[in-house]
Structure 1
Amino acid sequence: MIDEFAKEYLHSDLRELREVMVWKLEGLSEEDVRRPLVASGTNLLGLVKHLALSESRYFGLVFGRPFPEPMPAWDDPEARGQSMWAAEDESREDVVERYRRVWAHSDATIAALSVDSPGFVPWWPRPDVMLFNVLVHELTETARHAGHADILREQIDGATGEGR
C-alpha cells in the first residue's frame, strides 16, 4: 500500500513541476526564452530541453523502454553540456512538444512499473536502481531546474510564479 502511495505522490509532484517549467515560458518573446542570463549560457528554453533529455533517459533507457525519438546518448562527448540551451533551429514549439511527448512516455513507464521495479543507470556509481530511485532523482532534478527557471524568469520580467 505504501508503495503505490509513494509512487503516486512522487509522480504527482513531478507532473506539477513539469507544468511549472512550461509555464515559465508563457508570455515571453523568442528572444527572452533564449536569452542567456548566466555565464554558462543556460536559458529558459534550454532548461525545458534539458529536462526532456533527462526524463527520456531516466524513464526510458534505464528501464529498457527507450524513448522512440532520437536523443543524444548519455555518453556522447560532443553533446555534453549542449542541452541547457536551444539551438537556432529548435523552435519553442518543438522543444515544448518534445517535452510533452517525453512526459507521455515517462508516464507510461511509471504506470507500467511497480515502484520497486529494477533499472540500471550505467553513469551512476551505484547503477542498480529501482523506479523509486529514479522518481526521486527526476523530481529533484526538475525541482532544481524549476528554481533556476524562477531566477531566470524573475531577471527577465520580475515574474516569480507565486500561486502557480
Structure 2
Amino acid sequence: MIDACAKETPHERLRRDRGALLRKLDGLSEYDARRPLTASGTNLLGLVEHVVTAEARYFGGVFGRPSPEPLCRWRDADGSDLWATADEIRERIVGFYRRAAEHADATIGALPPDAPGHVPWWPEPWSRTNLFSVLVHVLGETARHAGHADGLREGLDGRTGVRAEHESPVDERARAAHRAKIERAARAAASVAAGRPPHAA
C-alpha cells in the first residue's frame, strides 16, 4: 500500500507547473499565443490545450470520474490537439484548464494513492494502474510541456521563469554577451574535437 502522504508532494508540484504553463500566455497577443514557433508547429496555446485535455482524461474517466464537460480534441493523427483553431477562444481554453484542474484536484483529494484506474490508451499490462502512478505521469507531462513553453516564450520576448516574482527585466546587452561567450566555448570545443587549435574556430 502506498502511504497517503506520498501524493502530497507531486500534487503540489502539479499545481505549481500548471500555473507556470498558464503564465506563458500572459501579455501575449492572439497571434503570438497561437503562432507556430518550431518547425513542427509547436505553439503556446496549443501546449495548454494539449495538457488540459490530457489531465481531464487522466483524472476523469480513468478513475470513473469523467469530465463534467466535453473534452477538446486529443491525440488526433494530424496533431490537431497541439494547436488552437481560429474560432477557439483563448479564454475558454484557459477557463477549461482551470475547471479541469479543479476536477482533477477533487479526484486526487478523494482517492487514496493506490486507488485502481484503467488507462485504455496504455498497452497491457500498464493500462491497469493506480492514482499515484497517474499523478506522477501527468506531473511529468505537465513539467515537460511547461519547459517547452518556457523556451518558446523566451524566444518571443526573453521572459523566462516559473513565477512572476522570479523574473527581472531582460538586460539585452548582458544576455547577448553571455550568449556570445557560450558560442565561443562551443566553437572552441568543436575545434578541439576536430583536432584543430581552439582559436581556429
| TM-score where L is the length of structure 2 | 0.76
Q: Counterpart of 1:114?
A: 112
Match of 1:24 in 2: 24
Q: In structure 2, the residue corresponding to 1:129 is in which secondary structure? A: strand
Shift of the 73–31 alpha-carbon distance from structure 1 to 2, 3 Å rule, reads: closer
- What letter corresponds to residue 54 of structure 2 in structure 1? S
Q: Which has the higher contact order (CA 8 A, sep 6+)?
A: 1
Partner of 1:99: 97
- Matched with 2:198 is none
Partners of 1:110 and 1:146 in 2: CA distance: 21
Q: What is aligned with 1:152?
A: 152
Change (3 A) 1:93 1:50: same
Give the counterpart letter for 2:104 in structure 1.
S
Corresponding residue for 1:143? 143
Please provide the CA RMSD for this pair: 1.9
5+ unaligned residues in a row in structure 2: which ranges?
168-201
Rg (Cα) greater in structure: 2
Identical pairs, percent: 59
Instruction: Kindly report structure 1 stretches of 4+ aligned residues shifted beyond 6 Å.
Output: none
Could you tell which deviates more after superposition, 117-126 or 135-144? Answer: 117-126
Does the C-alpha gap of structure 1 residues 12 and 158 become closer, same or farther in structure 2, counting only changes over 3 Å?
same
Partner of 1:60 in structure 2?
60
Count of residues in Structure 1 that have an aligned counterpart in Structure 2 = 162
> What is the identity, as a one-letter code, of the residue corresponding to 1:87?
T
Specify every segment of 5 or more residues in structure 1 that has no aligned partner in the other structure, as ranges.
Answer: none
Pick aligned residue for 2:85 from 87, 100, 103: 87
